[in-house]
Chains A and B, each alone.
Chain A
Amino acid sequence: MLVVAFVSFSLFNFVGDPINNMVGEETSDEERAELRETLGLTDPIYIQFSRFIVNASKGEFGISYQLRRPVSELISERLPATIELVLVSALIALVFGTLLGVYTGINRKSFLSDAILAISLLGVSLPTFVIGILFIYLFAVILGILPSFGRGEVVNIGYWSTGFLTITGLKAIILPSVTLSLFQMTYIIRLVRAEMMEILQTDYIKFARARGISEKSIHYKHALKNGLIPVITIAGINIGTLIAFSIITETVFQWPGMGFLFIQAVQFVDIPIMSAYLVFIAFVFVMINFIVDILYYFIDPRIRVKAETVSG
């Protein structure tokens, strides 16, 4: 976390001259110096860094060069949109990915499995933005049944603005979330399938078969539970990746989230937004790792009872 904070800070400080990026060519030297003073850029590095950390922990990342508004304000405006999009996508990817993965892992030779696999391979080959464009063309331009951009109407609940409570909002989230989840879903299908296939080859499954345990129990009790252990890790990384890929989806669908903000920031070298985004991402990753570790503890007895002695 601190490493990321430092990197973001370095970004803030050393990459180019923020003043040059902020002001036009015609700005006089005095004006520049004045701006430098107000932004605190004349202080020694370590003071700047500690100020950066203090501010970051308060959620303040300075003022956007491009939009001339506080970054914290911009982020809190955009955050709900991204989180709703990512959560819906993660849900789609995990649920369908696991179900299809288990199906293809168990029924290895059925036609449907082959079809799912071929489609999933196509899914890995389809860049997210291409899927987005195809969806827009199909559902918005040709069929005209779903909106191609924006969030629809949103309802404000305190600081949070949600699109879940209006019909237009729900309609608007369908295309972006499906687009975003497809790539991850295909990935999870393949992972779960490989995992299931490997576990079904193990001795303990063979031994369970030899004891006459029903196929249903072998698949869903013995194999799936073991197979889910790596899926949890992947699901964690998956959410992180979804946040990153939301940059693309948000651009294609002009979804007013953080990714959209970030990509504009990259194009205009708007360092405060970039570093704030980085810190946000790092925070999310740390949280996810924490949650994954806790889940591991509950699902894998080998970690849970590590402390107890091996006897016999």
Chain B
Amino acid sequence: MFASFKQKFRNWAFSRTSETGTVTLTQRRIFIIPTKQGLILCGVLVLMLLGDINYNLSLGYVLTFLLTMMAVMSMLYAFRNMAHLQIRAGRAEPVFSGETARFAFHFNNRSKLSRYQLCLFKTGESFWVGGQPVIKFDAPAQQDSEVIFPLPATRRGWLQTGRMTLYTEFPLGLFYCWSYLHFDARCLVYPKPLIDAPLPSGSSPDGTGKRSVAGDEDFAGLRKYAAGDALPRIAWKAYAHERGLQVKQFSTPLGEELWLDLADAPDRNEEDKLARMTRWVLDAEAQDLRYGLRLPDGELPSNNGIAHRDECLRRIALFNLPQQEQP
């Protein structure tokens, strides 16, 4: 019976589809139940009451009632600690698979009351925190607090937070007061670039003749390290001089066009091919080449620049995935 009740509760609580924009925590969205600590306190209070009756301790009654009423009032405080918070999901910058996506949530506390010890975690099987990583934070009065929720990105494509639980046990830890947040927050995950994958020997759009790409030979300067850069290219000397992680850049004469074609990738597995493509795009951009992308479902004309790189990576990341809503 309890199981079916639990299922009903979950259906009811989870029935909302994901939300966009700002969510205000109204009282209909906030649930509250006593914690284990609360139940233990309840037992302690019953013991104390028995002692009061038995030994006829009037002052003992006063103490027992005071503690009981403080416990009851703490329920109201727990509720107030969450009530009328306004929450919206912010942007999450794309990451490579294997990295950690950082989802930003904005908690706007417009009241004159600071909210303490709010906890956020990704809802699992249970509405209780069961070993999941929890982000704890305060939301000071009349401020907008940004909270970063890290989530490991394991596969390319869209990573979604799914249902999140926001809870608080403030002020006495006797009541667990929680609310579900289901934002349509997503983070684009690029495939993890292969470590060692030299660019394909340049193939021109018309497909005639091959030119060797001299890009690895002519040192052109340093730029800041970006995720996915090959280790051998890191300028360790510059790093030793405390100039931060920098990557050696090599030039290829301008005007040469490079086509990155999935069909050119030598791997058997499609995921590996895509990982190689990712590496190619990164390297091509790093070398300031003009490059185009050719995938079985379409191609991007040759171009260069960060925006072009991102678009290429996006195509690669979403290639051959089941249709998903575009954000």
- Same complex for A and B? Answer no
